Amino acid sequence: MRLDGEVALVTGGGSGLGAATARLLAARGARVAVLDFDADRAAAVAGETGGLALQADVGDAASVAAAFAALESRFGTGPRLAVNCAGIADAARIVGRDGALSVELFQRVIRVNLTGSFIVMAHAARAMQGMAPMADGERGVIVHTASAAWEDGQVGQAAYAASKGGIASMCLPAARELARSGIRVMAIAPGLFRTPMMEALAPETTAAIAASIPFPARLGAPEEFALMVAQIAENAYLNGTVIRLDWAVRLPPR
């Protein structure tokens, strides 16, 4: 897929990996819709990229439907590329030290990360199915964000790892189902990236985390994640799989 002139939707586009992705896609000529739960952040990134700001709760189907309607009204078409970066990383032990259970946290993380990714994918797929195919028969590309925690989640990450594992697991069946429509589905499983969550840690903690990365021994730059999104869009033979973007790191138990 050539990105120049195409419409791209990035959820969680107001910060971190999503913001970097929105900026890179815009730099490559895409018309970008920046969707975020935080309307001010979405507006800020949309302002930078000359795109459209959308406020929505990805875990709510009606909210996502309204965002897609606004996107199609603005651009006159649905997205050729949909990138799911929206997510939360709430952590808690299954049974806390006080004996409390983390069921509500589990349900909240699954709702945003996994159900939200499915809802956006479903709306994007329906929109793409109604679009004319491009020269190679392709109608669109959907890119999800999993996590290295999908395979080696740490203590306190049962909910997060389950949500990201669900994203990874639905990638292949979704790709197989949507192949008949010329729609590819991929997922990226990032390792340790320099995001607002990581930057909130103490410098010594960040240094210790970076030291565990084989090579290069540093946190990933959000722009490197964005580059992988663009490479997936542009390489028509990538479909139905999860790419770990992690510099050969394996997360320890803690």
Catalytic residues: 160
Q: Is 172 helix (H, G, I), strand (E, B) or coil?
A: helix
CA distance 152 to 250: 7
What's the one-letter identity of residue 77?
Answer: T
CA atoms within 13 Å, Cβ hemisphere of 216: 6
What's the one-letter identity of residue 204?
Answer: E
Asked if 117 and 125 touch (Cβ cutoff 8 Å), the reply is no
Q: Hunting for tokens 């195919």 — which residue is that?
A: 133
CA distance 106 to 177: 28
Tokens of 183: 């729609």
What's the one-letter identity of residue 1?
Answer: M
CA distance 254 to 241: 28
State the pairing for strand pair 81-84/7-11.
parallel
Kindly compute the dihedral angle of the four CA atoms of residues 194, 157, 106, 244, in this order, to the nearest 10 degrees: 60
Cα angle value 81/10/195 (rounded, 5°): 135
